[in-house]
Chain A
Amino acid sequence: MKTFPLDILTPEHQFFSTHAEALTIQAPDGSLTILAGHAPLVAPFIPGSLSVKVNGEWKEAFHSSGFLEVLREGVIVFAQACEWPENIDEKRALEAKRRAEERLRQRQSINEHQNSQIALARAMVRLQLARKHINLD
């Protein structure tokens, strides 16, 4: 299968760099799959899980919000945070979820409300992924 260079970057570290066969990510209106030779595309994404197919095997990871840039030369995913399921701190995610829910109950400006919603979504996906499985390499 044809592959394309894929870099997944977060501001804190280079999460993953590989030649991938496919990449699936959560766009705001549903999941989006990129294959080699895709037309130039820019898409923001919401917290969710991304899947990368490398050597015929799918790997899944958590991603926070961010955007991806698809050019002929390759694909770059700019995420605020990215974690493999085995590295997710479940306790921290639970706490973050509780905090976000608490904040959502309070009266807030539209902007703050949006931020809390995003924070809640982040925590939920982290928890989901951490409980689902770990990658067996």
Chain B
Amino acid sequence: MQNINEIRHHISAVAETRKITSAMQIVASSRMKKVLGHIAYNQLYSERLKRAIREILLSSPAPQSLPYLMARGGERRTYIVIAGDKGMAGSYNANLLHYAYAETKGHPNYHLITCGLKASAFFHRNGIQPDIEIMGVSQDPSLANARTLASDVIDIYDKMLTDEVYIIYTMFSGPSRHLPVMNRLLPLLPKDYDEIPARIPEADIIYVPSPEEAFHMLIPQFLTAEIFSALAQAYSSEHFARMNAMQSATRNADELMKKLTMQYNMARQAAITREITEISGAVEALRNGDEAYATGN
């Protein structure tokens, strides 16, 4: 039987931990609630956007000579990996980072852009130095951040430093729920959009002012919108994972407390019983002594 004081100490430690996990659960679920309203719309927006991109790519006068629309044939890839800044979110970070690691391993000649502390720490640990480490974006999936990232990506691509750009993040909604996914950002190839239902325009699309100029302005728009939606999906996935992890941690703490309280009561009961036995034993012994004295033996 464990020492009573030890058990008491254990119980108070578990209670403290439980306080923290339940507080984190509340924080994560309130963040989730804030995001949930946006995320359904975000999904719709990204579907609409992809459909528009496909319709534009399908229509004939799209300029094939634009560098953003052509595969360069090279093998130099750039990966943007979006993970969280903090742990305590179950397997959220681990799943994504292992997926990204396996993916990058197959293509040795690559550049790496990481979003979030966990992502850069993971690659550092594996002996890989990310080319760009972006901090603070995972916690603030704002349009301004997406815009900056998009313009960096275009810059890298324009300078011929890379042939293809991919983004790796965790999907929150849709068929690949809570799973890491990888999308090609650049170049824009029609085959990436094959599965999206499109309304094929019956006549050639008119581009204002000209196809070349229109596409030059369209590409940053596409990228910004796609990156924003990836950031938003990753953000909600992270908080959803954290909410679940903290919920089960709180539940485990409750169970552990119940078990420990039971042990504590049993130990206390045992101690009392032992004490009574000792006292009554002593009384018995004393009485025997008294009787022996009285009878004069």
Q: How far is B44's CA from A13's CA once the two chains are assembled, in angstroms?
A: 10
Tell me which residues across on chain A come within 8 A of B202, comparing CB atoms.
40, 72
Does any Cβ of B come within 8 Å of A73's Cβ?
Answer: yes
Mask, A36-73, CB within 8 Å of B = 1, is 00011111100000000000000000000111010111
Q: Given A29-B208, A39-B206, A78-B221, is A69 in contact with B56 using a C-beta cutoff of 8 Å?
A: yes
Contact assessment for B199 and A44 in the assembled complex, using a CB-CB cutoff below 8 Å: no
Q: How far is B42's CA from A81's CA once the two chains are assembled, in angstroms?
A: 14
Contact assessment for A78 and B203 in the assembled complex, using a CB-CB cutoff below 8 Å: no
Contact assessment for B201 and A71 in the assembled complex, using a CB-CB cutoff below 8 Å: yes
Partner of B221 from the list A14, A41, A66 (CB cut-off 8 Å) is A66
Contact assessment for B38 and A12 in the assembled complex, using a CB-CB cutoff below 8 Å: yes
Interface residues on B, range: 35 or more
Contact assessment for B217 and A111 in the assembled complex, using a CB-CB cutoff below 8 Å: no
Tell me which residues across on chain B come within 8 A of A28, comparing CB atoms.
209, 213, 217
CB distance from A47 to the nearest CB of B (A): 12
Mask, B23-66, CB within 8 Å of A = 1, is 00000000000000010011011001100100110010000000
Contact assessment for B221 and A42 in the assembled complex, using a CB-CB cutoff below 8 Å: no
CB distance from A116 to the nearest CB of B (A): 11
Contact assessment for A29 and B52 in the assembled complex, using a CB-CB cutoff below 8 Å: no
Does any Cβ of A come within 8 Å of B225's Cβ?
Answer: yes
Tell me which residues across on chain B come within 8 A of A7, comparing CB atoms.
48
Contact assessment for A11 and B228 in the assembled complex, using a CB-CB cutoff below 8 Å: yes
Q: Given A65-B221, A67-B221, is A11 in contact with B201 using a C-beta cutoff of 8 Å?
A: no
Tell me which residues across on chain A come within 8 A of B207, comparing CB atoms.
41-43
- Main secondary structure, interface of B, reads helix
Does any Cβ of B come within 8 Å of A80's Cβ?
Answer: yes
Contact assessment for B209 and A9 in the assembled complex, using a CB-CB cutoff below 8 Å: no
CB distance from B96 to the nearest CB of A (A): 22
Tell me which residues across on chain B come within 8 A of A78, comparing CB atoms.
48-49, 52, 221, 225
Q: Given A12-B38, A65-B217, is A39 in contact with B203 using a C-beta cutoff of 8 Å?
A: yes
Which residue of chain A has the shortest Cβ distance to B217 in the bound complex?
A44
Q: How far is B207's CA from A56's CA once the two chains are assembled, in angstroms?
A: 28
Tell me which residues across on chain B come within 8 A of A13, comparing CB atoms.
38, 41
Which residue of chain A has the shortest Cβ distance to B216 in the bound complex?
A44
Tell me which residues across on chain B come within 8 A of A66, comparing CB atoms.
221
Partner of A76 from the list B42, B48, B147 (CB cut-off 8 Å) is B48
Q: How far is B199's CA from A76's CA once the two chains are assembled, in angstroms?
A: 13
Mask, B152-172, CB within 8 Å of A = 1, is 001100100000000000000
Does any Cβ of A come within 8 Å of B224's Cβ?
Answer: yes
CB distance from A11 to the nearest CB of B (A): 5
Does any Cβ of A come within 8 Å of B214's Cβ?
Answer: yes
Interface residues of A in 5-49 (CB under 8 A from B): 7, 9, 11-14, 27-29, 32, 39-44
Does any Cβ of A come within 8 Å of B279's Cβ?
Answer: no
CB distance from B48 to the nearest CB of A (A): 6
Q: Given A44-B214, A69-B55, is A80 in contact with B147 using a C-beta cutoff of 8 Å?
A: yes
Does any Cβ of A come within 8 Å of B204's Cβ?
Answer: yes
Tell me which residues across on chain A come within 8 A of B218, comparing CB atoms.
42, 44, 67
Q: How far is B147's CA from A109's CA once the two chains are assembled, in angstroms?
A: 16
Tell me which residues across on chain B come within 8 A of A41, comparing CB atoms.
205-208
User: Top 10 closest A-B pairs, CB basis?
Assistant: A44-B217, A43-B208, A40-B201, A41-B206, A11-B228, A40-B205, A69-B52, A29-B209, A42-B205, A11-B225
A-B contact pairs, 21 of them (CB 8 A): A7-B48, A12-B38, A13-B38, A14-B44, A14-B45, A27-B209, A28-B209, A40-B205, A41-B205, A41-B208, A42-B56, A42-B207, A43-B207, A65-B217, A67-B221, A69-B56, A72-B201, A80-B143, A80-B147, A80-B225, A81-B143
